[in-house]
Chains A and B, each alone.
Chain A
Amino acid sequence: MYFFFQIALSGIATGAIYGLIAVGYSLTFMTTKALNFALGMWVMMGGMLTYSLHVQYGLNPLLVLPIVTVALFLLGIVAERFSVYPFLRAGSDVWVLSTLAVGFLMIDFAEIVWGRNPTPVPPFFGKEPVYFGSVSILPQQLLIIAAACATFIGLDFFYRKTLLGKAFRAVAHSGEVSSLMGINTRRVQALSYATAAALAGIAGFLVVPLTLAEPQLGTVLGLKAFAIAIIAGLAAPRGILICGLVYGAFEGLVSGYLYTGIRDILGFSIMILALYLRPEGIFGRAQEERA
């Protein structure tokens, strides 16, 4: 039983990362119906930047976090302008490929700047596990769970209480009507894309001490986060966090009791099955088609 809690708990930390990334998909989906297909590569950029600033330049993580967040946010604004908006405006869905192309550029950029070799990043608060009874957890994992929860609460607050957040929700509900009401739909779309990028950056910052700093660090993370967003429902951000945590625990248990190789095969198969049973997601409401 101790083993069970142990692996479930560390799984939850990974799950919080998935949740952060997955909410990014949901943000852009709700406002534009477009997704950043390369969100995993943005996570990688966050991770590599963290590696540079923290390990190479010795900056305090508390300073690194805002820098990474802002940098990815700004990059997100630029990328949206050039790789999404032109196609979205033309009513085409080739942004599938253009966002992917941006991701490829990031991987190659990272390979050129940082090299292909994985490099470890030391945990921000040491390696001594913290004990709760006999169950232990790494400080980094605690940080991840705390930071992810804080980010979520912040986002939720932003959506419900601020004017801009309400504008986001209005655009998500109906872009056409919102623009009639004087909401700058275009700006909301760009901001949501950039926010997703910033969340990916935060995820990269948090996760890089657990993985290694390398150009491929985000690829599978991004894919899994997508699976979670689909299982929970792209239009249900709160459900996505829950699903992320549960999925993380599930993954931990599968690797703990079965073996790691089968973990992702199972995970993605569940996604495909979930799609079949509930295309709108567990927490999503069925969307009526409109004629």
Chain B
Amino acid sequence: MTAPVQWLFGAVAIALLAAIPVVTGGTYYAYLGIIVFIYGIVAIGLNILSGYAGQFSLGHAAFMAMGAYTTAILSKSLNTIPFFAQTGLHIWLGVIVGTVLAALFGIVLAIPALRVRGPYLAMVTVAFGWVVWKILQEWVAVTGGDLGISSIPKPRIGAALLDTRSFYYVVLLFFLAALALQYRLIHSQFGLRVRAVKHSEIAVASVGVNVYRLKVVVFVISAAFAGFGGTLFAHQQNYISPDNFQFFSSVFFLLAVLFGGAGTMLGPVVGAAVLMLLPEMLHDFDKYRLIVYAGLILLTLYFLPKGVMGLLPEQRSAAPAPADAMEEAVALPPIRGAGLAVEGVTRRFGGLLALSDVSFRVEPGSIHALIGPNGAGKTTLINIVSGIYRPDHGSIRVDGENARIESMHAAAQEGIVRTFQTLKLFGDMTVIEHVMIGMTRHAKAGLWDAFAGSQRARDEASAQLVEARALLKLLGISQLENVPANSLAYGHRRLVEIARALAVKPRILLLDEPAAGLIAEEIRALAVVIRRLRSMGMTILLVEHHMDLVLGVSDRITVLDHGAVIADGSPSEIRRDERVIAAYLGHAHAAA
């Protein structure tokens, strides 16, 4: 579908939704609509967290409860004050406070819970949802216990009470706004990072993003959506009790997201609508609720891994084809490669001494290879320099300054960026998106720009696109710009890894076995790229097994064996070094 057709579809859909209360008469369908929209809003929030960022939550009903109870208690207690009784502002005050409070609780939960990864988060959110539900039951003085809270003030604007039909339109607007926010967020720089986290947290960290903080922020946004939905729910129903916010409500929302299509714009909405309307049509639903849910979960997982939306033909909004004239004009900024010094680094794993007092220097703007037999400690060293491990002793210096490398993103801040031997690309995200994520570290537009769709964000995005294309051209993969990474040939994937790292504008590039799995021709092309980077000023530390490549491009080579440096010199010196030959080829060969 082209953009104008999409707009047309959208307009027709909105017109149809707007017509529902008018056409159907009565309030039943308007009421159903309101509930579907409210559930849709919660599901959209959960989709951002679970669908796009890949972090499962089975506790979102708790955030909904937070919003609902807050506005219920607040608006009820303010209802008798004449000012509020006349203006109806207490309702909307409650909506705002409820949403904010849910977000705050999102922070309180996310900070500890996101320290565990992926699926385990789900179980923690189950426990959290359970705690909230239990508190609602036990804290009778405030929540009314099992009986809940009744006669919550009806929604109103000014003095006018909103009947079901008018409230339908208000909620429809909120619902459309939620969709728009989701769209803005996902299509921003921030959204790129969010989508990438689902595929590889470690690779997102490698481009200088604090992944933990990113996940907390996403969790909080998601909780705010749920809280907001909860506030609307309270005013719609006028009565809430712990029953509304049980574990199964949380399951309902996650199922809605998966069934509709996790990580699609409209999936959560479709899912919420179908799952909400289904029981309305089924008799005896309550009796078989669990069977229906369980069946739907299994069917979805087996047969609709991409949800209902996945059945639609895939569409990629291809970025406009690069204008060649413009691209010629953009030269990549010169690189000021930094010097790297590894000083007395020691690292143990339990009883195993992986690195023992390793020191060597990498000159600025040079290609320095690190070689050694398997188990020599190369990977450990590169993991230390890139911030994955901390050394037990020793330090890393960048241009003579002591570098504070406490995490991967800290290493990227210091200008040290790496590629991975076992490729860590972001699933079906396109090549150009990989490069754009790399540019995150230098982005100025923040989360609010993303939500607001500010001019600054748009300017920045188009500037980055130009730069990203120049990088692709440098690596000779311009033609692959809009190809999803998971359908690339292996050799191209290696180049995408390098492009992503370069986008961070490193001063030291760590290449971790970039030639692994490449055929001879691809290795030659890789050598060309590496040399070109050096000629632009980049400092490159190359960990590699492929000796032709190492001897062909390196200015200097450091050889590790059993965790210690056994030789350090120019390629021709290394080629003649007896200890190196012994370590690599065995003593018999050395003697021959």
Binding site for B on A (CB under 8 A): 34-35, 37, 83, 86-87, 92-98, 100-102, 104-105, 107-108, 220, 223, 226-227, 230, 234, 261-262, 264-265, 268-269, 271-273, 275-276, 279, 288-289, 291
Contacts and interface: CB of A to CB of B under 8 A. Distances in A.
Contact of B127 (A87, A104, A272): A272
A261 B124 contact: no
Interface stretch (B37-45, B128-136, B172-180, B362-370): B128-136
Given A94-B301, A265-B131, A272 B421 contact: no
B109 A272 contact: yes
Contacts of B422: 291
Among B109, B254, B258, B290, the most chain A Cβ lie within 10 Å of the Cβ of B290
B290 A97 contact: no
A148 to B, nearest CB: 23
A97 B120 CA distance: 12
Contacts of A93: 56, 118-119
B512 A275 contact: no
B536 interface: no
Interface residues of B, number: 50
Nearest to A261: B138
11 contacts: A37-B122, A86-B302, A92-B305, A97-B301, A98-B297, A226-B127, A230-B116, A264-B131, A268-B127, A276-B112, A288-B349
A199 B485 CA distance: 43
A218 to B, nearest CB: 14
Contacts of A289: 202, 388
A291 B291 contact: no
Interface string B241-275: 00000000001001100100000000000000000
Contacts, number: 117
Nearest to A98: B301
- Chain B interface mostly helix, strand, loop or mixed? helix
Interface of A is mostly: helix
B118 A101 contact: no
Interface string B373-405: 000000100110010110000000000000000
Given A96-B119, A264-B130, A275-B113, A108 B288 contact: yes
Contact of B131 (A269, A279, A288): A269
Contacts of A220: 130
B138 A101 contact: no
Given A93-B56, A101-B294, A107-B290, A291 B123 contact: no
B442 interface: no
Interface of B: 56, 58, 109, 111-113, 115-116, 118-120, 122-124, 126-128, 130-131, 134-135, 137-138, 202, 251, 254-255, 258, 288, 290-291, 293-295, 297-298, 301-302, 305, 349, 379, 382-383, 386, 388-389, 420-422, 512
Contact of A97 (B109, B254, B349): B254
A108 B127 contact: no
A291 B420 contact: yes
A87 B130 contact: no
Contacts of A262: 138
Contacts of B290: 104-105, 107-108
Contacts of A108: 288, 290-291, 294
Contacts of A102: 294
A226 to B, nearest CB: 5
Given A35-B123, A276-B115, A288 B294 contact: no
Given A35-B119, A223-B127, A272-B124, A97 B113 contact: no
Contact of B138 (A227, A230, A265, A273): A265
Contact of B293 (A94, A104, A273): A104
B460 to A, nearest CB: 30
A288 B294 CA distance: 36
A34 B122 CA distance: 12
A288 B391 CA distance: 13
A261 B302 CA distance: 40
Between A86, A98, A230, A272, the greatest number of chain B beta carbons within 10 A of the residue's beta carbon is seen for A272
List 8 A-B pairs, minimum CB-CB distance, nearest first: A276-B112, A104-B294, A101-B297, A101-B294, A279-B115, A104-B290, A261-B138, A108-B290
